[in-house]
Structure 1
Amino acid sequence: MMKEGTYSAWFKTPMGQGTGIVELVGGRICGGDAFLSYTGTYEAEGDRFTALLRTRRHAPGQPSLFGPDELTLSLEGSCKGSPVTCRGHAAEAPDVPFEAILLFSQTDATVPSPRPQRSSASVQLPKPIWR
């Protein structure tokens, strides 16, 4: 069964590899990396996962791992547990295989409260040992 939430994504093609963040909630995907944004849809049924993902450049920088920036990726894989794994291809670059691993990002509900700051006037500095 696939959990809804935020995932760290690692992906590769024969042209290289990259990382990003994706949010999977209610059958929708949104996310991105330093250069591309991702939007799309997904379905998880049992331990099978399918997705249709579109990419779009939002910042100048390194080239896409497919060549073109704007792509439509068809993905399928396994969501038996962690990590979620999938493979697929882009319609715009059908001969370029794509693999991805998604790691669920745990949220910690018990975030420690920050320690109170002391004013600099109340801090006692040690006396120098040289004179």
Structure 2
Amino acid sequence: MGIVLQDGLYKVEFHTVHGTGTGVIYACGGKLRGGNSAFAFIGNYTDKGDCIQARVTTERHNPDPAFKPLFGIDMITLTLKGADNGSMIDFEGTALQLPGVTFKAVLTRMAD
């Protein structure tokens, strides 16, 4: 059986060598929408059977400089591949703007 990203609200925990962050993201019908205290997460995903492919762009919505961007710039586009890990989905990928920096995220389903 292949991996499927169920529609619903997910907690997202993510990190790079530069730091960590958390937020929420809602998956529905191939779209991803979410954010945290400083950034909106906007993207889409496709279930490929053995993995989930996603593309997510960040956009700053809070001008407070205390909230530092994880990649050092406010707007990035991530290309990610997700794999099933029991009750969670592990994603790994890179930002198009900084291809040498690995990005990892774990999505944990919270609600429908």
What TM-score, normalized to structure 1?
A: 0.77
Q: Which residue of 1 aligns with 2:58?
A: 55
Q: Which residue of 1 aligns with 2:9?
A: 6
CA RMSD after TM alignment: 1.3
Q: Where does the alignment leave 5 or more consecutive residues of structure 1 unmatched?
A: 108-131
Alignment partners' CA distance in 2, 1:47 and 1:3: 15
Contact conserved, 1:84 with 1:101, CA < 8 A, in 2?
yes
Alignment partners' CA distance in 2, 1:106 and 1:20: 14
Q: Which residue of 2 aligns with 1:82?
A: 87
Larger relative contact order, structure 1 or 2 (CA cutoff 8 Å, min sep 6): 2
Alignment partners' CA distance in 1, 2:5 and 2:87: 9
Q: 1:77: Cα distance to partner?
A: 1.8
Alignment partners' CA distance in 2, 1:38 and 1:30: 6
1:110-125 to 2 correspondences below 5 Å: none
Identity of aligned residues (%): 35
SS at match of 1:54: strand
1:56-75 to 2 correspondences below 5 Å: 56-59=59-62, 60=64, 61-75=66-80
Alignment partners' CA distance in 2, 1:106 and 1:67: 32
What does the per-residue CA deviation read over 1:25-73, in whole Å, with 9 as the maximum and x for residues that have no partner? 0000100000000101101132411100000100023211111110010
Q: 1:103: Cα distance to partner?
A: 0.1
Contact conserved, 1:2 with 1:79, CA < 8 A, in 2?
no
Alignment length, in residue pairs?
107
